[in-house]
Amino acid sequence: MVSTGIPQLDSLTGGLARGCLTEICGAASSGRTSVLLFALAHATQRGEVCALVDTSDAFDPASAASAGMEMSRLLWVRCGEKYPARKHWESQLAQMLKVTDLLLQSNGFGTIVIDLSDVPVQNARRIPLASWFRFRRAIEHTPTVLLVLEQQPIAGSCSSVLLRVSARRAQRFGKRSVQPKLPHSELLDQFEITAELLRSRLEGKMERKPVQSTARFQSRAAWAAG
């Protein structure tokens, strides 16, 4: 188990399990990106090389750097089209599957994140269950953390941990039109995120709270990206 960088979330799940697939689901602006930034920042700060498979080309490097991520230890794979208005999800998901297979075969990454946050649910659910099973088998006996961000659960029994996040924006200060160069991570103050443990199959790995337990934490998060 490794820390997410969020103490409250660690107390709920024990952290992120190596050799396992963890799903984090939630609606837009639910806090998924906050968890992504914290987890990758913490992993790179402890010296690990990480990979982000950015299916919809939504990652914001400025927010990542502001969160403390060591960018020199991050491989950012952009699967999005050059013109975002013309998204061909079938093509982008095919790229995601191919890239993830290559990354898992390399055995060189401490954390691999697949960001499907902006992929429509109906498209994400077309990913074959066999692909998730293959990913799970590829990391079973490795120190790699595989983290998937999505709108709704899609990996079925292949994921060891399933979390649902939701958020309440307490206060927003400043306007993007007034401060266009301000990183997303500084646009929100007192951004409260609630994480609910929906499923855990980590028997014997750690002492954890029961399913449906929740944890709350505050973060200055990337509001535009979710």
pLDDT digits (tens, 9 = 90+) for 167-176: 876 554 444 4
Summary mean pLDDT of the chain: 83
Q: By C-alpha distance, which of 202, 219, 225 is closest to 167?
A: 219
- Give CA–CA dist 216/170, Å, rounded: 14
List, in sequence order, the alpha helices (H) in 46-199: 61-66, 89-106, 121-124, 129-139
Tokens read off for 11? 């107390």
222 located within any domain: no
List, in sequence order, the alpha helices (H) in the chain: 7-13, 32-45, 61-66, 89-106, 121-124, 129-139
- Give CA–CA dist 57/12, Å, rounded: 30
- Give CA–CA dist 118/77, Å, rounded: 15
Average pLDDT over residues 46-56: 95
225 located within any domain: no
Average pLDDT over residues 40-58: 95
Band of the pLDDT at 85, cuts 50, 70, 90? very low
Average pLDDT over residues 131-148: 96
Average pLDDT over residues 118-134: 95
Determine the pLDDT at residue 82. Answer: 55
Number of domains in the chain: 1
pTM over 0.85: no
pLDDT at 103 over 60: yes
The single residue listed with the structure tokens 């973060």 is 219
Q: Which residue has the higher pLDDT, 28 or 113?
A: 113
- pLDDT per residue as tens digits for the range 176-214: 433 334 344 444 445 788 899 999 988 654 445 565 688
48 located within any domain: yes
pLDDT at 62 over 60: yes
2 located within any domain: no
114 located within any domain: yes
pLDDT at 152 over 90: yes
> What amino acid is encoded at 174 in this protein?
G
Tell me whether strands 50-54 and 161-172 are parallel, antiparallel or unpaired: unpaired
Q: By C-alpha distance, which of 218, 125, 100, 210 is closest to 169?
A: 218
Determine the pLDDT at residue 129. Answer: 95
Per the structure, the complete domain to which residue 118 belongs is given by 7-217
The partner residues of 74 in beta bridges, in order of sequence, read 50
Determine the pLDDT at residue 169. Answer: 65
169 located within any domain: yes
Determine the pLDDT at residue 188. Answer: 44
pLDDT at 90 over 80: yes
Q: Residue 40 maps to which CATH number?
A: 3.40.50.300
Average pLDDT over residues 70-86: 78
Band of the pLDDT at 144, cuts 50, 70, 90? very high
Kindly calculate the radius of gyration of the chain based on its CA atoms and give it in whole angstroms: 16
